[in-house]
Structure 1
Amino acid sequence: MNKIEPRGQRARLWISWLVVSLLLGYGVLQTLITAAKLFTS
Structure 2
Amino acid sequence: MNDRVGGGQRVRLVVSWLVVSVLLGYGVVQTLITAAKLFTQ
Q: Scaled by the length of structure 2, what TM-score is found?
A: 0.85
What RMSD in Å do the two structures reach over aligned CA positions?
A: 1.1
- List 4+ stretches of structure 1 deviating above 4 A: none
Over the matched positions of the two proteins, sequence identity in percent amounts to 76
Unaligned 5+ residue runs, structure 1? none
| Count of residues paired in the alignment | 37
Distance (whole Å) between structure 2 residues aligned to residue 32 and residue 15 of structure 1: 26
Q: Name the counterpart of 2:34.
A: 34
Structure with greater Cα Rg: 1
TM-superposed CA distance for 1:17, in Å, is 0.3
Q: Name the counterpart of 1:15.
A: 15
